[in-house]
Amino acid sequence: NAGVTQTPKFRVLKTGQSMTLLCAQDMNHEYMYWYRQDPGMGLRLIHYSVGEGTTAKGEVPDGYNVSRLKKQNFLLGLESAAPSQTSVYFCASNTGTEIYGYTFGSGTRLTVV
């Protein structure tokens, strides 16, 4: 049981490049989330999804797009990376009915130069 898997674990991008971060969960969870964490700060919600085919904006959505074409996958896209998007990105999932069952992935460390 892998839980929540994020790929890649590390990436360096040049300003203006695009990339997609993949989050995959094998727990049949309805809800999935993308957070970013900057040094010395808490996690801030970028986008989330409450089911296959749905997405919604979180606290800091600008510069990111997401897609949830399959229930088990939640993709986070950066169309034109900026240095301000240098951060650690965490994906999480939840059943949607159980408030305690949030499972986080191990994170993706992204540096934009």
Min dist. Cβ of residue 20 to other proteins (A): 20
Count CB neighbours of 80 within 10 A.
Answer: 11
Among 23, 32, 34, 48, which residue interacts with other proteins (rule: CB under 8 A)?
48
Please enumerate in sequence order all residues whose Cβ is within 8 A of that of 22, keeping only pairs 6 or more positions apart, or say none: 6, 7, 73, 75
Min dist. Cβ of residue 43 to other proteins (A): 4
- Choose between 74 and 90: whose C-beta lies nearer to other proteins: 90
The CA-based diameter of the chain, rounded to the nearest angstrom, is 40
60 lines the binding site for other proteins (CB under 8 A):
no
Instruction: Please give the Cα distance from 31 to 93 (Å, whole number).
Output: 5
Footprint of other proteins (CB under 8 A): 31, 33, 35, 40-45, 48, 50, 56, 58-59, 90, 92, 96, 99-100, 102, 104-107
